[in-house]
Structure 1
Amino acid sequence: MIAINDVFESLTESAPFERPARVLWISCADDFVTMMTIEEPPAPPWHMPLSELKGAVASGNVRPTKVRTSSFMLQSEDELSSEQKTIRQKNWDRIRPLIETSFAGEIYYPHAMGRLVAAHSKATGLDRKSIYRLLYRYWLHGATQNAFLPKYENSGASGQPRVFVKGKLPGRPPKYLGELSDTRAKILTDEDKQIIKIGYALYRDNKTKTITDAYTKTLNRFYRVEHPSPDGTDDDTRLKPAGELPNIVQFKYWGKKAYDEISVLRGRSGDRRWAMNHRPLVGRAHDRLHGPCHRYEIDATIADIYLVSRYNREWLIGRPVVYVVVDVFSRMIVGVYVGLEGPSWNGARHALFNAFSDKVAFCARHGITITEEEWPCHHLPQELVADRGEMLGSAATGIVTGLNINLAIMPPFRPDWKSIVESKFRLLNQLTQVHWTPGGVRTRMKERGERDYRLDATLDMEKFTRILLKSVLHYNQHSRAPGRLSKAMISENIPSTPLGIWNWGIEQGMGEPNVQSDDAVYLHLLPRERATLQARGITFKGMHYLNPLDPDGMTAAHARAFGRRAIDVWYEPGTVDYIWIQAPDKSLVRCMLHSTEGRYRNRRLEEVLDMLEITKQTEAVAHYADLNSKVQLDEFVETTIATAAAEKKESQVKRSNAARIADIRANRALEREAERVIAAKRSPVATSRPELSDRPARSTDGSAKTYAGERSGEVIDLLSRLHERGGLAK
Structure 2
Amino acid sequence: MLSLGVNCIVSPGEDSVLLTKSVRVLGIKDDFVLVIELGTNPTKPWRIESSLFVEEIDNGAAVINPEMVPMHLLRSDDEISENEKKSRDKNWELVRGLVENHAPLDILTSNFGALVASHAMVTGVDRKQIYRLLYRYWSMGQTRNAFLWNTSACGGPGKQKSRASGIVPGRPLKYRGIVVDDGGAILLESRHLAHIRLAYGRYASGKCGRIRKCHEWMLNKFYRSIKSDGSKGNVVKNSYPSLNQLIHYGKLFFDDLYKLNKRDGAIRYNKDYRALIGSASQRLIGAGHRYEIDSTIADVYLVHRVNRLWLIGRPVLYVVVDTFTRMIVGVHVGLEGPSWNGARHAIYNACTPKKEFCKRYNIDIEEADWPCSHLPVEIVADRAELLSGAGETMTKTVGTSLKILPPFRPDWKSIIESRFRLINEKLDLKFIPGGVDARKLERGDRDYQLDAIFDIDEFTEMVIAGVLAHNQTLRVPDLLSRDMIAAEVQPTPIAMWNWSMANNLLNSKVVSPAELKIALLPSQECRIGRGGINFHGVQYTCGTAVRSQWLERSHNFKTKYVTVFYDPNSIGNCWIKSEAGFEPLTIVPQQQAKYAGLRMEEVLDMIKILNQVSPDNRYEDANTGAILQGRQEDIINRAKAKRKAQGNPKSDAEFKRDKRSKRATETQNERDLHTADLNQLRLVDNSSSTEETPKAAAAKPVSARSAAFLKLVVNADNEANHE
Which range, TM-score by smaller chain?
0.5 to 0.7
Tell whether 2:672 aligns with 1:692: no
Shift of 1:671: 1.4
1:374 paired with 2:369, answer yes
Q: 1:720 aligns with which of 690, 694, 700?
A: 700
Q: Look up the match of 1:319.
A: 314
User: 1:347: how far off?
Assistant: 1.8
Match of 2:677 in 1: 675
Return the letter of the residue paired with 2:316: V
Question: Which residue in the other structure is 2:330 paired with?
Answer: 335
Q: Deviations over 1:668-698 (max 9, x none)?
A: 343123322444566xx66xx3x3333589x
In 2, are the aligned partners of 1:534 and 1:563 still within 8 Å (CA)? Answer: no
Aligned partner of 2:480 in structure 1 is 485
1:478 is aligned with what amino acid? T
Q: CA deviation at 1:583?
A: 2.1
Question: Is the 8 Å Cα contact of residues 291 and 511 (structure 1) preserved in structure 2?
Answer: yes
Kindly provide the amino acid, as one letter, of the partner of residue 518 in structure 1.
P
Distance 1:568 1:660 in 2: 60
Deviations 1:39-72 (CA, angstroms, capped at 9, x unpaired): xxxxxxxxxxxxxxxxxxxxxxxxxxxxxxxxxx
Would the alpha carbon gap of residues 642 and 532 (structure 1) be closer, same or farther in structure 2, given more than 3 Å must change? Answer: closer
Q: Deviations over 1:68-104 (max 9, x none)?
A: xxxxxxxxxxxxxxxxxxxxxxxxxxxxxxxxxxxxx
Change (3 A) 1:665 1:377: closer
Cα deviation code 1:274-297 (max 9, x no counterpart)? xxxxxxxxxxx2211211111111
Structure-2 residue corresponding to 1:506: 501
**Which letter does structure 2 place at the counterpart of 1:671?**
L
1:387 aligns with 2:382: yes
CA distance in structure 1 between the aligned counterparts of 2:681 and 2:640, rounded to whole angstroms: 26
Q: After superposition, what is the alpha-carbon deviation per residue over 1:586-611, rounded to whole angstroms, capped at 9, x for unaligned?
A: x4333233333221111111111111
| 1:610 alignment partner in structure 2 | 605
In 1, the alpha carbon distance for the partners of 2:703 and 2:545 equals 64
Q: Does 1:595 align with 2:592?
A: no
Residue 412 of structure 1 aligns with which residue? 407
Return the alpha-carbon distance in structure 2 between the equivalents of residues 494 and 409 of structure 1: 33
2-structure distance, mates of 1:632, 1:408: 65
Instruction: Write the distance in 2 (CA, Å) between the matches of 1:723 and 1:342.
Output: 64
Corresponding letter in the other structure for 1:693: T
Q: Does 1:422 align with 2:424?
A: no
After superposition, give the CA deviation of every residue in 1:430-464 in whole Å (9 maximum; x if it has no partner): 22221122222111111123232222222111111
Alpha-carbon deviation of 1:522? 1.3
1:485, distance to aligned residue in structure 2 (A): 2.7
Deviations, residues 557-611 of structure 1 (Å, cap 9, x unaligned): 32232143122121111111121222248x4333233333221111111111111
Distance change in 2, residues 1:595/1:502 (3 Å): farther
Match of 2:298 among 299, 303, 316: 303
What TM-score, normalized by structure 2, do the two folds share? 0.53
Deviations 1:654-673 (A, max 9, x none): 9x998976654553343123
**Match in the other structure for 2:529:** 534
* Cα-to-partner distance string for 1:159-208 (whole Å, 9 max, x where unaligned): xxxxxxxxxxxxxxxxxxxxxxxxxxxxxxxxxxxxxxxxxxxxxxxxxx
Q: CA offset at residue 376 of structure 1?
A: 1.1
| 1:448 pairs with 2:450 | no
Q: Give the number of the structure whose alpha-carbon radius of gyration is greater.
A: 2
DSSP-derived class of the 1:388 partner: coil
Residue type at the aligned position of 1:470 = A
Aligned partner letter, 2:456: M
Residue of structure 2 aligned with 1:565, choices 560, 566, 586 = 560
Q: Distance in 1 between matches of 2:323 and 2:471?
A: 13
Any idea what SS the aligned residue of 1:341 has?
coil
Q: 1:660 to 1:526 in 2, by over 3 A?
A: closer
User: Partners of 2:664 and 2:603 in 1: how far apart?
Assistant: 63
* Paired residue secondary structure (2:384): helix
1:29-48 per-position Cα deviation (integer Å, ceiling 9, x unaligned): xxxxxxxxxxxxxxxxxxxx
Q: CA deviation at 1:391?
A: 1.9
Judge conservation of contact 2:303–2:312 (CA < 8 Å) in 1. Answer: yes
Give the equivalent residue in structure 1 for 2:29: none
| Partner SS for 1:333 | strand
SS at match of 1:358: coil
- The change in CA–CA distance for 1:534 and 1:662 in structure 2 (over 3 A counts) is closer
SS at match of 1:324: strand
Is contact 1:495-1:501 (8 Å) kept?
yes
| Paired residue type of 2:582 | L
Q: Distance in 2 between matches of 1:663 and 1:550?
A: 56
Q: Structure 1-normalised TM-score?
A: 0.53
Question: What secondary structure sits across from 2:534 in the alignment?
Answer: strand
Q: Partners of 1:515 and 1:580 in 2: how far apart?
A: 21
Q: Is the 8 A contact 2:683 2:693 kept in 1?
A: no
The alpha carbon displacement at 1:537 in A equals 3.9
Local SS of the residue matching 2:319? strand
Query: Percent identity of the aligned residues?
Result: 39
> How far apart are the structure 1 equivalents of 2:388 and 2:330?
22
* Matches of 1:633 and 1:650, distance apart in 2: 26
Once structures 1 and 2 are overlaid, which stretch shifts more, 613-622 or 551-560? Answer: 551-560
**Residue 445 to residue 630, structure 1, CA distance change in 2 (3 Å):** same
Structure 1 residue 486 displacement after superposition: 2.9
- CA RMSD, aligned part only? 3.3
> Could you list the runs of 5+ residues in structure 2 that have no partner in the other structure?
1-279, 711-723
Query: Given that residues 677 and 720 in structure 1 are in contact (C-alpha distance below 8 angstroms), is that contact kept between their aligned partners in structure 2?
Result: no
Using the TM superposition, give the Cα deviation of residue 332 of structure 1 relative to its aligned residue in structure 2, in angstroms. 1.0
Report if the CA contact (8 A) 2:303-2:452 is conserved. Answer: yes
* Unmatched runs of 5 consecutive residues or more in structure 1: 1-284, 698-713
Q: 2: CA distance between counterparts of 1:515 and 1:330?
A: 18
Q: Which has the higher contact order (CA 8 A, sep 6+)?
A: 1
Deviates more, 1:297-306 or 1:388-397: 388-397
The residue type equivalent to 1:357 in the other structure is T
1:352 is displaced (CA, Å) by 0.4
Shift of the alpha carbon at 1:527? 1.0
Which residue of structure 2 lines up, in the alignment, with residue 581 of structure 1? 576
Alpha-carbon distance, 1:640 to partner: 5.7
TM-superposed deviation, 1:402:
1.9
Aligned to 1:120: none
Q: Deviations over 1:496-520 (max 9, x none)?
A: 2211111111111224313434332
What is the alpha-carbon distance in structure 1 between the residues aligned to residue 702 and residue 408 of structure 2?
A: 90
* SS of residue in 1 equivalent to 2:585: strand
* Aligned residue identity for 1:720: K
